[in-house]
Amino acid sequence: MRETQEAIVAAVTGPLTGPRTLLLGRYDRGGRLQYTGRTTTLPQAAGRAVAGMLAPAADEHPWTGWTFSAGWGTRETLTVTLVQPELVVEVGVDVARDSAGRWRHPARWYRPRPDLSLDDTARFGNPA
């Protein structure tokens, strides 16, 4: 079963001018940006469109020093570019979560939501 939810873009794979996937997060009750999951590969047009809405990360990004797994059961890490966590996007997600509360399967890209603020996203660990 899938549902539509909003999340915050905090990092990308691929070049910032044409991201391949988006790494998504939500703030927890303590105000920390937690990783919720990653999108499937974006269509090229979507990557180019979202690129114009992203800015490189400032020096104090909440995920500085973090590493991200390239896939379930692998030790390979992703090469990511951190971005300012300012853009909310709409994605389709499976209702299954892992033990930490992250989406178990990649999220499907639907659209950017520049009309929403970061406060409009559900808190990490809470259903939408």
Fold of 2-120: OB fold (Dihydrolipoamide Acetyltransferase, E2P) (2.40.50)
Q: Summarize pLDDT for 16-72 with one digit per residue, the tens.
A: 999 999 999 999 999 999 999 999 999 999 999 999 999 999 888 999 998 888 776
Break the chain into its structural domains and give their ranges: 2-120
**Total Cβ atoms within 10 A of residue 121:** 21
Say what the pLDDT of residue 105 is.
82
Start-to-end C-alpha separation, the chain = 15
pLDDT, averaged across the chain: 90
Is there a contact between 2 and 95 (Cβ–Cβ < 8 Å)? yes
- Report the alpha-carbon distance of residue 61 to residue 63 in Å, rounded: 5
Helix (H) or strand (E) holding 50: helix 44-51
Say what the pLDDT of residue 97 is.
73
DSSP 118: G
Q: How wide is the angle at C-alpha 21 spanned by C-alphas 19 and 27, nearest 5°? A: 110
- What is the mean predicted confidence (pLDDT) over 92-118? 86
